[in-house]
Every structure is written in C-alpha cells, then in structure tokens.
C-alpha cells in the first residue's frame, strides 16, 4: 500500500505512429485502466485516416476513399469548415468508430474525443502501407494514485489479429518499485531418445554454482544441489529455486546417456527442458589394476556396481584385485545420437575424425546422405564412462595412462571450466581398438 498518498495531477500528450498493412481491415483499439475519469481523452490524427461513410462524400469521390497520405487532398475540398459528428450512434454510422463521444474531421486533422471508461475502437483505418501516420493521444488532468499507475494501451489489429501496439504509463512520484521475484520455476521431462516415450524413475541432479567451491584449478564451480526422480510421466518439477545463478542438469539412469544442460535462469522465469536419454551398449576393455585403485570408485566410473565388476572377472571378493592384474573393465560402446543443436562436422572434429567426411569413412558410409540418416553413429577407438564427484578430465586420463587432454565430455554443453565435467556426465575415453574386447548386448 502507498505510504504517501498526496494528490498528483498529471496531464500530457503521447505520440505514436501507425502504418497500414494492405489487408482487408486495420483496426486501432485504445483502452485506459483509469475508467472513472470525467474528462475526455482526445486522439488527434491526420485527415483522413479513418473511413468517412457519408453518402454525399462517397459519391463525390467516386466511392473509393484514398489512404493517407493521399487522403490529405480531401481536407480543403470537403472538410473546411470541419465536419462535426456527435453521439455514439451517428459516429458509428458515419465512421464505424465505437466508444467515441465526438468526432471532428477538419481540413488537416481529425479529432476523436472519448471517455476513459469506454474502449475506443477505430475499424477500417485508411493508412498507406509504405507511409506512416502520426497519432497524438492527449490525456486530461488525471489524479494518479501511488499504488496504481496510469496505463493506456493502443493496440493495432489486422483482420482481427493483434500485430502490435504501444503503452503509455505514468506513475506517482512517490511510487517505489517492489522488490522483484528472485526465484524461478524448473520443469524437466526425460524421454527415451528412440521411442520419445517418457522415462519414469530417472534421477535428475540439479547442480548449482558455488563461488566458494574449491576445485583443482581454483575457486568456484558447480556442485550437486538437489536430486529428484521423474514421475510416471517422466517429469521433474522444482519450484521457487534461486534465480540468476548458473545451474546444470544431469540425469543418472543405468545404461543410458544424456547430454547435460547448463543455463542461467532469470527471476520469475519458467524454465522448461526436454532431455533425451539414449540407450547404451555394454562393452569391456582390458585394464591393468594399479596400486591405489579403489574398487568402488572404478566401478562408479564404469556405470556398474562392484558386484558386477567382480562377476565379469569371476572374482568373489575385492581383495582378489592385485596391482598389475589384468581385468576386464566394463564400459559402454561409443555410439552417438545427434541432438537438435549438433552438426556432423562438429561431431567428426570433436572425436578426432577431422570432419563429417572422416566420420562417414569410419562408419563405412560412402554417401554423406547415409551418414545424415543414420540413427546412431559409431565412434571407433572410443569408450564411454561416467564422471564422478570431483573428477577432472586429467584425472580420468591418468587412470587410463593417457596423454593429458585425451578424454572429452560427450555432447555440446557449456562448462565453466572445460577441464571439469559435471558429476554423472558421460565421458569419452580414447582406447586403442587392439585392446577392445566386445561383450554384452548387440
């Protein structure tokens, strides 16, 4: 509520322009929110931007009224002295205008007076498409309240379709803006990339920027803020989240890959995200167990459980894993399904195949059209794993004895630091094909 409601009387003029559309009918509608005003609003426009349906006038001009600015020629010939039309019934009869109290058509301009409690509707405007007409809206002395600004809108319609408009707003000098909402609402839907059907019971992790988070490369990073499972319709909702912070979304679903999403929501924004989850094919590689390897951490990297890792290697207990031992490490075959924002040249370059042509060659396609139609593209020499909490790409490289900069994140998404993947994000590791042993689903 207003703290100081002292009287503030204001009057003024608002100028705007209108162009015609060459459609069947252009209409102007003016509406005020101060509908108890006794004084009349006044709209001034050039002669003759409105339709004048007087029979004598129509006969004299041959029944075809020119559009403004050609209609200026009618001024001195027909509207000197001015034509005055009063009363809503006569005004609508001769000009089609509704809501007006008085219309004066003069030699140079037309004046339309109308009360604030009535919408002014001017159908059948006569304005050339290439030439604009200047309109002036005169607002009489108005007592503006502190907590209710004066709002007057002028909307243009073409054949009944809203195509544009302007808004006049005047506030009391004691008005102070209320503090804006510093929250946003999030809506996420996870679908199967192949069938486009929703996937229930999928964990969606919401990561939020923490300026104090310590990383191997400095201060500031994204950390998991909330974990939510999708409903039976594959939907996750998180309302009233803090806005203006960098956030990311990662899904964790066994045997599926999805490109992470990163965004910075605005206050009051409704963020709606669709995420496609693509099924993966089980695979294995040969791996030499190292001193200091932790079976739980290695299993998490592969996206499998400790018991599954032991079963694949016919081991009964983690204590059987000894440094220097060769084991089969579960992973996933590197196959990529294109997202809407991807392109083939980017994909070929990202995975070291130079461009789309190189990608076609490794997939056995001679025709580039075959490449663009392929539902999934093989990435020979690569295997998919999953980033863990506090992982860096350099750390993953060291696990596989690779040169720094070898491993990459899968998919096009912004990272505050390109060396730090999001927890749970899919990671592609270049493994020589001579070390690969296929296993699992085909």
* pLDDT one-digit tens code per residue, 141-189: 999 999 899 999 999 999 999 999 999 999 999 988 877 678 999 999 9
pLDDT tens for residues 296-307? 999 999 999 999
Q: Are residues 296 and 428 in the same domain?
A: yes
What's 215's domain CATH number?
2.60.40.10
Within-domain flag for 233? yes
* pLDDT greater than 90 at residue 22: no
User: What domain range includes position 59?
Assistant: 9-170
Q: Are residues 134 and 196 in the same domain?
A: no
* pLDDT greater than 70 at residue 116: yes
Q: Are residues 311 and 403 in the same domain?
A: yes
pLDDT tens for residues 208-253? 999 999 999 999 999 999 999 999 999 999 999 999 999 999 999 9
CB neighbourhood size of 301 (10 A) = 22
pLDDT of residue 5: 56
pLDDT of residue 380: 93
CB neighbourhood size of 109 (10 A) = 18
Q: Which of 2-11, 46-55, 403-412, 416-425 has the lowest mean pLDDT?
A: 2-11
pLDDT tens for residues 241-293? 999 999 999 999 999 999 999 999 999 899 999 999 999 999 999 999 999 99
CA 434 → CA 286, 381, 430, distances in Å?
Answer: 10, 9, 12
Instruction: Give the predicted TM-score (pTM) of the model.
Output: 0.61
* pLDDT greater than 60 at residue 435: no
3-state helix, strand, coil in the chain (%, to 5): 15, 40, 45
pLDDT of residue 370: 86
Within-domain flag for 359? no
Tell me phi and psi for residue 427, to 5 degrees. -120, 135
In the predicted model, what is the mean pLDDT of the chain? 92
For residues 336 and 343, the answer to whether their CB atoms sit within 8 Å is no
Q: Which of residues 145, 170, 195 is at a domain's end?
A: 170
Q: Are residues 112 and 211 in the same domain?
A: no
* Interatomic CA distance for residues 278 and 290, integer angstroms: 32
Within-domain flag for 355? no
Q: Are residues 299 and 226 in the same domain?
A: no
- For 169, the 3-state DSSP assignment is strand
Q: Which of residues 170, 194, 215 is at a domain's end?
A: 170
* pLDDT greater than 70 at residue 436: no
Q: Are residues 433 and 300 in the same domain?
A: yes
pLDDT tens for residues 198-210? 999 999 999 999 9
Q: Confidence band (pLDDT; 50, 70, 90) for 440?
A: very low
Torsion angle of alpha carbons 206, 212, 216, 218, nearest 10°? 120
Q: Are residues 161 and 210 in the same domain?
A: no
Q: Are residues 222 and 299 in the same domain?
A: no
What is the side-by-side order of every strand in the sheet holding 150-158? 120-122, 26-32, 150-158, 161-170
Q: Are residues 156 and 203 in the same domain?
A: no
Q: Are residues 237 and 295 in the same domain?
A: no
Within-domain flag for 4? no
Q: Are residues 381 and 235 in the same domain?
A: no
Q: Where are the alpha helices (H) located in 291-427, listed in sequence order?
A: 295-302, 306-312, 344-350, 356-362, 368-373, 393-399
For residues 47 and 149, the answer to whether their CB atoms sit within 8 Å is no
How many CA atoms are closer than 13 Å to the CA of 27, on its beta-carbon side?
16
**In total, how many domains does the chain have?**
3
pLDDT of residue 442: 32
pLDDT of residue 438: 31
Provide the token pair at 330: 């579960």
Q: Is 306 exposed, middle or buried (0-12, 13-18, 19+ CB in 10 A)?
A: middle
């Amino acid at each position: 509520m207003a703290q100081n409601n002292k009287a503030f009387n204001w009057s003024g003029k608002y100028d705007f322009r209108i162009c015609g559309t060459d459609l069947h009918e252009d209409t102007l509608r003016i509406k005020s929110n101060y509908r108890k005003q006794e004084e009349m609003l006044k709209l001034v426009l050039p002669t003759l931007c409105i339709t004048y349906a007087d029979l004598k006038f129509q006969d004299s001009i041959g029944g075809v009224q020119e559009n403004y600015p050609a209609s200026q020629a009618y001024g001195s010939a027909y509207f000197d002295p001015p034509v005055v039309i009063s009363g809503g019934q006569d005004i609508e009869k001769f000009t089609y205008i509704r809501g007006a109290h008085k219309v004066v058509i003069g030699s140079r301009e037309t004046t339309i007076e109308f009360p604030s409690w009535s919408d002014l509707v001017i159908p059948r405007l006569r304005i050339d498409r290439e030439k604009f007409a200047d309109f002036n809206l005169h607002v009489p002395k108005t007592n503006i309240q502190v907590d209710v600004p004066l709002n007057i809108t002028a909307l243009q319609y073409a054949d009944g379709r809203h195509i544009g408009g302007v808004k006049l707003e005047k506030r009391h000098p004691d008005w102070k803006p209320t503090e804006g909402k510093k929250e946003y609402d999030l809506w996420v839907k996870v679908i199967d990339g192949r069938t486009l059907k929703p996937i229930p019971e999928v964990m969606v992790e919401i990561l939020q920027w923490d300026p104090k988070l310590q990383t191997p490369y400095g201060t500031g990073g994204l950390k998991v803020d909330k974990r939510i499972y999708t409903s039976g319709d594959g939907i996750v909702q998180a309302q009233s989240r803090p806005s203006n912070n960098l956030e990311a979304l990662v899904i964790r679903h066994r045997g599926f890959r999805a490109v992470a999403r990163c965004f910075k929501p605005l206050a009051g924004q409704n963020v709606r995200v669709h995420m496609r989850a693509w099924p993966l094919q089980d695979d294995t590689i040969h791996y030499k167990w190292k001193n200091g390897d932790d079976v739980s951490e290695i299993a998490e990297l592969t996206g499998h459980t400790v018991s599954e890792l032991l079963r694949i290697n016919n081991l009964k207990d983690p204590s059987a894993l000894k440094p220097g031992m060769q084991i089969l490490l579960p992973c996933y075959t590197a196959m990529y399904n294109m997202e809407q924002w991807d392109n083939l040249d980017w994909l070929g370059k990202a995975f070291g195949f130079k461009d789309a042509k190189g990608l076609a060659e490794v997939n056995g396609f001679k025709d580039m059209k075959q490449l663009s139609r392929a539902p999934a593209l093989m990435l020979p020499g690569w295997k998919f794993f999953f980033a863990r909490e506090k992982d860096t790409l350099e750390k993953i490289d060291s696990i596989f004895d690779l040169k720094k900069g070898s491993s990459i994140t899968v998919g096009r998404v912004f990272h505050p630091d390109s060396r730090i993947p999001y927890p749970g994000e899919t990671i592609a590791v270049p493994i020589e094909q001579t070390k690969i042993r296929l296993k699992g689903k085909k």
